[in-house]
Amino acid sequence: MTVSHRADTWARGFLWLGLLASLVGFLGYYDAAGFVTPPPFVVLALQLIAAGGGILLFRTRLLGHISALMPLLLVAAWAGATLLWAEDPTTGLRRWLLVFVPGILLCAMAAADTRPRHTFNWFLVLVVTITIASGSFSALVSAFSDTRVSGESLRHMLIDVNGWTLGVAEGGRQSINLGFYVPRFSGLTSNPNSMGLFAAIALVGLCAVTQPKRDTRSAGLVLIIGLVAVLLLLSASRAAFAMAATGIFVVFLLRTDRRRMARAAMLLICGSTVSLYLMTWLSGAVPDPGNTEIFELRERAQVWGIAIQAIGNVWPLGLGFGLTQEAIYAPLGLATAAHSVTLSILLETGMIGLVLVLIAWFHPALRTTQANSLITSADIAIVALLLGLFVHQTVDSSVFRYHWAHFVFVYLLGASAGLAGSRTNE
């Protein structure tokens, strides 16, 4: 093994460590007191150790891929600049550092990766494993739980293993009018929606990279896809359903080489997002009072209405990165978030920040769908996941927060750049 090959192997090992820390580090279990997970400083330390080693070994290749990082770097730079006029710049700076320092480093490692397709397949295996392990853990706890502890919105189902209490959270969906209740379990994540997001990522990725053949391996993959699809359905996460549907549709378009339609789908996604917020605002943004939770926005209607009203005062430059809760909701006595990356970014970084975020988010898809460019299964998976994740984050605000979904997002940005760079070098 040559010195260069050995360095590349070690560099990829650091990248894998960074991905492990960024995904597994946010997993855990419930006990009677709440969710038990590794302390954030431990996760951050592992991320920085992995990034430091990876960047050091990837430094030569990284110089050739720095342009691929520019969209994310511009987002980070503008987000940091908004803290100059924020009311609480100290809190904003702390959150900026947590989000962008490990995020940019992970993105950089992925962009400089010498084997981006192999790493993406490894990433997909990790996500599938987490999804199936979460489903298995939920089934085990459901079968043997002997204790139930009610919380504000989630009920904890617990089992006692030699004095060690562990379990999952249950938060069901119900329809009193239709007369049914759908139990939802958190698995190894903090809530059922997170488990649904893992399942959606796994399902879209598998649909993109699987090449159907009549052999034992393909039969096994089909069984895994079926199991992941069942776990997604059991999560009853509407956002995850929307992500999976969007992602699979994009996979179909790109696997059948309908690139123009894929680009049209991007416009449709953006237009649908604006329409959803507009309809919420025009309807008065009143929480749905009905009994059919499956079809209701619930608290999102209220918090979106508050956010949209506040945007009118700060839309040019924003109120400061990471400060939506303190600046908008805390004064009203609400301990909540905007439940929308689009609204959060517009509130915090203004129209300039939102445009930069959209460029960073959609740039890989625009580059991949250029006419006559080579598209691999990994490219298809990444584009589908990014577009699906945008739909998911229409009703959630995990990206651009210290959350595992954010690190999936920046990894996908870097992996897309790495795949494009590997083709250029061939």
DSSP state string for 312-332: HHHTTT-S-TT-HIIIIIGGG
Q: Provide the pairing of β-strand 155-161 with 173-175.
A: unpaired
Residue 81, Cβ neighbours under 10 Å: how many?
Answer: 16
pLDDT for residue 293 is more than 80: no
Task: Name the pLDDT band for 300 (thresholds 50, 70, 90).
Answer: confident
The per-residue pLDDT for 154 is: 72
Please tell me the number of Cα atoms within 13 Å of 59 on its side-chain side. 4
Q: Judge whether 364 and 386 are in contact, CB under 8 Å.
A: yes
Structure token digits, residue 100? 């962008």
The residues, any chain, with a CB within 8 Å of residue 125's CB and separated by 6 or more, are: none
The per-residue pLDDT for 214 is: 66
CA dihedral angle for residue 35, residue 123, residue 270, residue 319, rounded to 10 degrees? 50
pLDDT for residue 359 is more than 60: yes
Please tell me the number of Cα atoms within 13 Å of 64 on its side-chain side. 12
The per-residue pLDDT for 176 is: 45
Task: Name the pLDDT band for 11 (thresholds 50, 70, 90).
Answer: confident
Task: Name the pLDDT band for 292 (thresholds 50, 70, 90).
Answer: very low
Q: Provide the pairing of β-strand 147-150 with 155-161.
A: antiparallel
pLDDT for residue 147 is more than 80: no
What are the CA-CA distances from residue 395 to residues 5, 86, 96, 193, 390 (Å)? 44, 25, 22, 11, 9
Residue 296, Cβ neighbours under 10 Å: how many?
Answer: 17
Residue 12, Cβ neighbours under 10 Å: how many?
Answer: 21
Task: Name the pLDDT band for 319 (thresholds 50, 70, 90).
Answer: very high
What are the CA-CA distances from residue 173 to residues 189, 235, 289 (Å)? 18, 10, 15
Calpha distance 41→132 (Å, rounded): 27
Structure token digits, residue 305? 């209405």
Most trustworthy range by pLDDT among 161-165, 221-225, 405-409? 405-409
Residues 34, 38, 41, 47, CA torsion sign: negative
Between 161 and 127, whose confidence is greater? 127
Residues 242, 247, 410, 138, CA torsion sign: positive
The per-residue pLDDT for 291 is: 42
Task: Name the pLDDT band for 289 (thresholds 50, 70, 90).
Answer: very low
The per-residue pLDDT for 333 is: 86
Task: Name the pLDDT band for 317 (thresholds 50, 70, 90).
Answer: very high
Q: Judge whether 158 and 31 are in contact, CB under 8 Å.
A: yes
From the DSSP assignment, how many helices (H) and strands (E) are in the chain?
14, 7
**54-94, pLDDT tens digit by residue?**
888 887 777 767 777 899 999 999 999 999 999 999 999 99
**23-43, pLDDT tens digit by residue?**
999 999 998 888 999 999 999
DSSP H/E element including 376: none
The per-residue pLDDT for 412 is: 97
Mean per-residue pLDDT over the chain, rounded: 87
Between 290 and 307, whose confidence is greater? 307
What are the CA-CA distances from residue 259 to residues 119, 262, 322, 361, 378 (Å)? 25, 5, 36, 18, 16
What are the CA-CA distances from residue 8 to residues 12, 69, 418 (Å)? 6, 20, 14
Query: What is the mean pLDDT of the segment spanning 1-19?
Result: 81
Query: What is the mean pLDDT of the segment spanning 394-415?
Result: 95
The per-residue pLDDT for 338 is: 83
The per-residue pLDDT for 179 is: 56
